[in-house]
Structure 1
Amino acid sequence: MSLRPPHAPAQNGLQALEERLREDLLTLGWPAKSWIPPCSFQGQAVHDVLIIGAGQAGLALAAALAQLGIQAVLLDKSPHDFEGPWATTARMETLRSPKELLGPALGLPSLSFRAWFIAQWGHQAWQQLDKIPRLQWMDYLRWYKRVTHADVRNEHELKTIRPQGNGLVALDVNANGKTKTWFARRVVLATGRDGLGGAHIPAFIQGLDRKHWAHSSHPMDYSSLRNLHVGVVGAGASAMDSAATALEHGAASVDMLIRRPDLPRINKSKGSGVPGLTHGQYLLPDEWKWRVRHYINAQQVPPPHDSTLRVSRHTNAYFHLGCAIEKVEQMGEKLRVYTTQGMFTLDFLIVSTGFAIDWALRPEFSQIAPHVRLWGDRYTPPANQRDEELSSSPDLGPYFEFQPRTPAALPGLERLHCFSYPAALSHGPVSGDIPAISDGARKLAQGLAALFYREDADYHFTQLQNYAEPELDGKEWTPADTAARIRSLGEQA
């Protein structure tokens, strides 16, 4: 499958779209006039909002803030134009989301993927397009970043985050081999699927030589698997994509080791995508929030149809259902993988076991992790709805802000906002997934605007009192002779 349309794009069409977008933004007054008073600390400028991560969530939020007159700076550890997973660790051929979804367009037709695509390849190509190729989505996000004038600082890696308790947050950031302290009034973590943790590594793989295994989210040269017998643990989207990529790079065979007796067939998450839940998750009672998210987790999301066929079309791919792993032993250059159906002798193992919310995997959050209130602190589910992912999720406030386990234990913690996947239990899937990313970005941007105004109410009231731009200069009317007018009316009666 081609990852981009086979014919060259029409650059003049894209230029016309960008002119249309400029007109749309001008019509909407976007970006709006700045209104937050400038701030400095220790002789250094304080940023209003620092966004950690310049993927689609960070970009959408920065654009939504600009509409409200708030300038954000985005810090991303990746090189220029390689933010997010799309051109690095993601291995699917196409996105799962339907091409019609607006994604981060924030309600602007001229900022949508559809408009970007049609401007270059035309309406007929759009009609023929099935799903969006992964690398083309990355190209769209690169364009989005450029036309929204996002202030992205690449190869800036967050090392430590330290709420100060004085209305500021300090961040130690490494760039160009040097660590510098940045200050901000608000910090947003737009750090993606593994935003508060990392790859979940099952116990059976720990301790094995790293040259014999990888997690599906790890950067890896799949050509190194050529002529090897590879096992893939799991059957989700990333498992299928990893298996297919290994086969396409010449693996001798791929054995899919699948714990479940059958693959899930229905994407229950897709069935929950209605505006009432998108906008109302935060207002649901705790038991309903938990019940909905746990049900989706327990049912599991099936691998995409095309991703599964991408594996099964290879005659050297084997699907082993009801094949749970019991232990793995390393014998020289081979792995002995013991399962409930027998022992496999393999050369390499790819574990596609998802992600864990695990603060220990993110040393940059070590100073805040002990103080963040989790859903496990807030809610005890029924025994049949226990869910480690949900229990580990942060219990966020109305504007995605972290809340303290113990009041006042870490002043300033509430100045950190979680706009990544772990926000799903508190706010629904509005902080990373393509379908509702614009809704989440606008909600958070509006909340930040409200918080800034509340904090600076004295300043804004003074501004209100000092506002003296006249709309009348006193020459627009002539004062009447009221007594004469009254006599005139009396004489006419």
Structure 2
Amino acid sequence: MAYDVQKPLQSTVNSLAELELRVRDDLACLCYPAANWVAPTVSEPQVHDVVVIGGGMCGLVAGFALRVAGIANIRIFDRNRAGMEGPWITYARMETLRSPKQLTGPAYGMASLTFRAYFTARFGNDSWVALDKIPRPMWMEYLCWYRKVLDLPVENSVEVKTIEPEGELMRLTLCGDGARESSVLARKVVMATGRDGLGRPSIPGFVNDLPRKYWAHSSHDIDFEALRGKRIVVVGVGASAVDNAAEALEAGAAEVRHLIRRKEMPRINKLMGIGSFGFTAAFPKLSDARRWQIMNYSLRTQTPAPRGSTMRVSRHPNAYFHFDTAVEKVKLDHDEILIETSQGEALRADFMILGTGFGVDPLARKELDGYADKILLWHDRFTPPPGEENADLGKFPYLANDFTFLEREPGQAPWLANIYSFNSGAAASLGKVSGDIPGISEGAAWLSREIAAKLYAESFEQHWQRLLAYDTPELRGDEWTASPLPDGAQTIALKQA
């Protein structure tokens, strides 16, 4: 039977307090969380079984999945203060999420944990029907509620500076106002670090000589009020570029000009057209050539900015879209930015915003200093056919099927098998299951299962001894009485033989 995602439900939940009781009841019925089964590390009693880096959406659902799997000895660190995790109320500047409101996201198979349940508990079913897309700040409110109702142990204002091997364990050095110690030991480390979690903002070289006060990347903290009356150039036309252009226009910029290399506006979100459980399940099992083919095509066609975000810009008469106009050179001319373009014309501006996205590059991650160059990348493993080259895609890590890094040269960095890339860097190897809303629960279930398997295998002897030592009887011995065979039974048996 199909259900209408718009149809009002006869819900008995009329407040968040009632919904939270329902969540707790659901958890109890499902026996969540499971009892901890992981054998402790004998040599180092203060070792954590798993440390999750990042308390945003990826880190929260990863933490929940680990607890569901009976892995209780975990810690979750986030460098931001509480309520500021992830991009949602920092550098994300869209009015609403792109994802359809009915997607279950991090709910992990529980209806009571969905955004729909949260929203209807607050505003009612009629408001759900009227809702078009999820307001961005409300998604952050939902994630804060998700963390609270599941009592997830996120420690805020704790930054992980380095991840280094120490014997069979990993030593994480910490800093920040929330850090209770200078370092911790862990058996496994999950980098649930989101969109820029395995790289950095893509900064084109043409701003290298431009003083920093004249430009910003879309992920930077931008004082939009200071742009009032200014001429703004935005490089790019993806979602982040468009959202930042809208912010500048609404703050009173004199004009905003998009400089766009493409000859026309991207209009189709290709991967949305093939999203399915089958695609999620099959992607990591496809050949390298097939995975490259899909990812390269997606990157080349580019995901368009949402319709609402684009119209938020175009409704301003002082907004301009210049296609087939690449930036070739930028310099400062007195107090103006002089921009030379591929059209042979130069533009003058007061400030430049780079909507150039993020690049995946393990070498850019300070946490991995000293051995990032030992990580196997796609360009080490796969040579694309002529015409399918993509240098950016080639920098993605070539991951094992459990989200861990592989060594470029076997034996050089075996500890990489203890670090899990549960972030956007996993997309080329395993699909979009560790960064985007649609597949995040499937990815977390997959991650927790693989971590559980490794933890069990690594402590097999302790589990074997538990099996040998287990002596709790189910039967007491008084449940039966031994009976002799009836007369003639032995004779009959011998004759039959």
Q: Same fold (TM over 0.5)?
A: yes
Deviation at 1:486, TM superposition (A): 5.1
* Cα deviations by residue, 1:55-74 (Å, 9 ceiling, x for unpaired): 11111111111111112211
Quote the Cα distance in structure 1 between the aligned partners of 2:158 and 2:178: 10
**Do the aligned partners of 2:97 and 2:135 also contact (CA within 8 Å) in 1?**
yes
Residue 204 of structure 2, aligned match among 202, 205, 223: 202
TM-score w.r.t. the length of structure 1 is: 0.94
* Cα deviations by residue, 1:279-323 (Å, 9 ceiling, x for unpaired): 121110110010011111111111110000000011111111111
**Do the aligned partners of 1:11 and 1:120 also contact (CA within 8 Å) in 2?**
no
Quote the Cα distance in structure 2 between the aligned partners of 1:19 and 1:330: 60
Quote the Cα distance in structure 1 between the aligned partners of 2:269 and 2:174: 39
Q: Which stretch shifts more, 101-110 or 257-266?
A: 257-266
Quote the Cα distance in structure 1 between the aligned partners of 2:235 and 2:42: 51
Unaligned runs of 5+ in 1: 1-9
Quote the Cα distance in structure 1 between the aligned partners of 2:30 and 2:178: 41
Aligned to 1:7: none
Deviation at 1:389, TM superposition (A): 2.2
Aligned to 1:418: 421
**Do the aligned partners of 1:161 and 1:367 also contact (CA within 8 Å) in 2?**
no
Residue 435 of structure 1 aligns to a residue in which SS? coil
Deviation at 1:482, TM superposition (A): 3.2
Residue 344 of structure 1 aligns to a residue in which SS? strand
* Cα deviations by residue, 1:240-295 (Å, 9 ceiling, x for unpaired): 10000001111111111111111011110211312122012111011001001111
Q: Which amino acid aligns with 1:340?
A: S
Aligned to 1:337: 339
Residue 131 of structure 1 aligns to a residue in which SS? coil
Quote the Cα distance in structure 2 between the aligned partners of 1:484 and 1:435: 70
Change (3 A) 1:177 1:477: closer
* Cα deviations by residue, 1:212-261 (Å, 9 ceiling, x for unpaired): 00001111221111111100000000011000000111111111111111
Deviation at 1:12, TM superposition (A): 5.7
Quote the Cα distance in structure 2 between the aligned partners of 1:66 and 1:230: 48
Aligned to 1:6: none
Residue 383 of structure 1 aligns to a residue in which SS? coil
**Do the aligned partners of 1:189 and 1:195 also contact (CA within 8 Å) in 2?**
yes
Change (3 A) 1:177 1:305: closer
**Do the aligned partners of 1:92 and 1:307 also contact (CA within 8 Å) in 2?**
yes
Q: Which amino acid aligns with 1:168?
A: L
Quote the Cα distance in structure 2 between the aligned partners of 1:39 and 1:12: 46
Aligned to 1:171: 172
Q: Does 1:369 align with 2:341?
A: no
Q: Which stretch shifts more, 130-139 or 31-40?
A: 31-40
Q: Which amino acid aligns with 2:387?
A: N
Residue 411 of structure 2 aligns to a residue in which SS? coil
Deviation at 1:484, TM superposition (A): 6.0
Quote the Cα distance in structure 2 between the aligned partners of 1:437 and 1:368: 28
Residue identity (%): 45
Quote the Cα distance in structure 2 between the aligned partners of 1:257 and 1:41: 59
Aligned to 2:61: 60
**Do the aligned partners of 2:158 and 2:178 also contact (CA within 8 Å) in 1?**
no
Deviation at 1:481, TM superposition (A): 3.5
Aligned to 1:427: 430
Task: State the number of aligned residues.
Answer: 479
Deviation at 1:406, TM superposition (A): 1.0
Unaligned runs of 5+ in 2: 1-11
Aligned to 1:3: none
Q: Does 1:162 align with 2:171?
A: no
Residue 356 of structure 1 aligns to a residue in which SS? strand
Q: Which stretch shifts more, 129-138 or 313-322?
A: 313-322
Aligned to 1:348: 351
* Cα deviations by residue, 1:31-82 (Å, 9 ceiling, x for unpaired): 000001222656x611000011111111111111111111221111000111
Change (3 A) 1:40 1:221: farther
Change (3 A) 1:400 1:359: closer
Correspondence list, 1:298-337, <5 A:
298-337=300-339
**Do the aligned partners of 2:156 and 2:178 also contact (CA within 8 Å) in 1?**
no
Correspondence list, 1:86-485, <5 A:
86-164=88-166, 166-176=167-177, 180-341=182-343, 342-482=345-485
* Cα deviations by residue, 1:89-111 (Å, 9 ceiling, x for unpaired): 11000000000100000110000
Residue 171 of structure 2 aligns to a residue in which SS? strand
Deviation at 1:363, TM superposition (A): 1.8
Aligned to 2:9: none
Quote the Cα distance in structure 1 between the aligned partners of 2:67 and 2:41: 18
Quote the Cα distance in structure 2 between the aligned partners of 1:40 and 1:16: 43
Quote the Cα distance in structure 1 between the aligned partners of 2:151 and 2:487: 64
Q: Which amino acid aligns with 1:103?
A: G
Q: Does 1:70 align with 2:71?
A: yes
Q: Which amino acid aligns with 1:25?
A: L
* Cα deviations by residue, 1:394-420 (Å, 9 ceiling, x for unpaired): 111110010111111123111001000
Quote the Cα distance in structure 1 between the aligned partners of 2:178 and 2:130: 47
Aligned to 2:4: none
Change (3 A) 1:399 1:177: closer
- Root-mean-square deviation (CA, aligned residues, Å) is 1.9
**Do the aligned partners of 1:40 and 1:46 also contact (CA within 8 Å) in 2?**
no
Quote the Cα distance in structure 2 between the aligned partners of 1:366 and 1:383: 34
**Do the aligned partners of 1:163 and 1:411 also contact (CA within 8 Å) in 2?**
no
Q: Which amino acid aligns with 2:146?
A: Y
Quote the Cα distance in structure 2 between the aligned partners of 1:213 and 1:11: 49
Quote the Cα distance in structure 2 between the aligned partners of 1:465 and 1:127: 58
**Do the aligned partners of 1:52 and 1:58 also contact (CA within 8 Å) in 2?**
yes
Residue 99 of structure 2 aligns to a residue in which SS? strand
Q: Which stretch shifts more, 198-207 or 168-177?
A: 168-177
Quote the Cα distance in structure 1 between the aligned partners of 2:306 and 2:116: 22
Q: Does 1:23 align with 2:25?
A: yes
Q: Which amino acid aligns with 1:254?
A: V
Aligned to 1:48: 49
**Do the aligned partners of 1:368 and 1:413 also contact (CA within 8 Å) in 2?**
no
Change (3 A) 1:360 1:476: closer
**Do the aligned partners of 2:107 and 2:441 also contact (CA within 8 Å) in 1?**
yes
**Do the aligned partners of 2:14 and 2:124 also contact (CA within 8 Å) in 1?**
no
Spell out structure 1 runs of 4+ moving beyond 6 A: none
Deviation at 1:340, TM superposition (A): 2.2
**Do the aligned partners of 2:13 and 2:19 also contact (CA within 8 Å) in 1?**
no
Quote the Cα distance in structure 2 between the aligned partners of 1:80 and 1:484: 80
Residue 444 of structure 1 aligns to a residue in which SS? helix
Change (3 A) 1:142 1:415: same
